[in-house]
Chains A and B, each alone.
Chain A
Amino acid sequence: MTENRLTILVVDDSPSNVDVLKNILASEYKVKVAISGAIALKATEKDPPPDLILLDVIMPEMDGYEVCRRLKNNQITAAIPVLFVTGVADEFDRLKGLSLGAGGFIMKPLDANKVLEAVRTALKGSKYLVT
């Protein structure tokens, strides 16, 4: 039952943001949570790795871009799809995120249907969505 669910790692230092994403995702996916970039990097090296990472951009100590860069530079984690979650993403931000290997952006405030659509698309391997 639950063992067959795909796993999404939510990386966000804000518990309230995590709560929102968890409520959206938990009925369909196993949701893991890392409250910092450093914890996320450790989590992604565990076996099995998450099927998808939802990565907050603005975090203290290590921002989402740096986490993504490290993930994509690590052979173990490079193939895990990443979607950025952010409230602000201009053209420069989007190009930066995509150039780092992310699959796209989910914009705040979060809309449940859009989040689920973006997650499903990312899990199918499609890239360059912006929702």
Chain B
Amino acid sequence: MESLLQVRLDDASGGTGQTMADPTRMRHLIDVIKPLLEDMDSDAVDLVEELANMLRGTPMSPIMDKITDAVANYDFETAMDELQKLEV
């Protein structure tokens, strides 16, 4: 998972290997956000925002936009579905 994220982040930086986001932090955030979404916990909103900020400008940004929109509407099921796409 972490390596996949790293590849995507490398892509975002033009293959220079310089990433704009910390994959370890991302992995951690996703691990924290998932159970919150499953639990319909509103604390997910702030963490999703943090994750969205990390992924802004990366190839994952469109997916993240959908997650952000879903969470803003408290549609945690849709947010979870989209979040899982980040892990494919």
Bound CA–CA A70/B43 (angstroms)? 27
Contact residues on B (Cβ < 8 Å of other chain), bracket: 10 to 19
Is chain B's interface secondary structure helix, strand, loop, or mixed overall? loop
Bound CA–CA A22/B42 (angstroms)? 8
Is chain A's interface secondary structure helix, strand, loop, or mixed overall? mixed
CB pair A32–B72 under 8 Å, yes or no, is no
CB pair A39–B40 under 8 Å, yes or no, is yes
CB pair B40–A15 under 8 Å, yes or no, is no
CB pair B74–A26 under 8 Å, yes or no, is no
Q: Residues of A contacting B75 with CB < 8 Å?
A: 35
Query: Whose C-beta in chain B lies nearest to the C-beta of A15?
Result: B73
* Given A15-B72, A15-B73, A18-B74, also A34-B41 (CB < 8 A): no
Bound CA–CA A26/B42 (angstroms)? 9
CB pair A30–B74 under 8 Å, yes or no, is no
Q: Residues of B contacting A22 with CB < 8 Å?
A: 42
B7-59 residues at the A interface, CB under 8 angstroms: 39-43
Query: Whose C-beta in chain A lies nearest to the C-beta of B74?
Result: A33
CB pair B73–A32 under 8 Å, yes or no, is no
Bound CA–CA A1/B40 (angstroms)? 19
Bound CA–CA A36/B16 (angstroms)? 46
CB pair A43–B40 under 8 Å, yes or no, is yes
Query: Whose C-beta in chain A lies nearest to the C-beta of B39?
Result: A32
CB proximity of A118 to chain B, nearest CB, Å:
19
A1-26 residues at the B interface, CB under 8 angstroms: 2, 9-10, 15, 18, 22, 26
Q: Residues of A contacting B41 with CB < 8 Å?
A: 30-32
Bound CA–CA A10/B76 (angstroms)? 13
User: Is the CB of A46 closer than 8 A to any CB of chain B?
Assistant: yes
Q: Residues of B contacting A43 with CB < 8 Å?
A: 40
CB proximity of A81 to chain B, nearest CB, Å:
18
Given contact pairs A22-B42, A32-B42, a sample of 20 additional A-B residue pairs in the complex whose CB atoms are under 8 Å apart: A9-B40, A15-B72, A15-B73, A15-B74, A26-B42, A30-B41, A30-B43, A31-B41, A31-B43, A32-B39, A32-B40, A32-B41, A33-B40, A33-B42, A33-B76, A34-B74, A35-B75, A39-B40, A43-B40, A46-B39
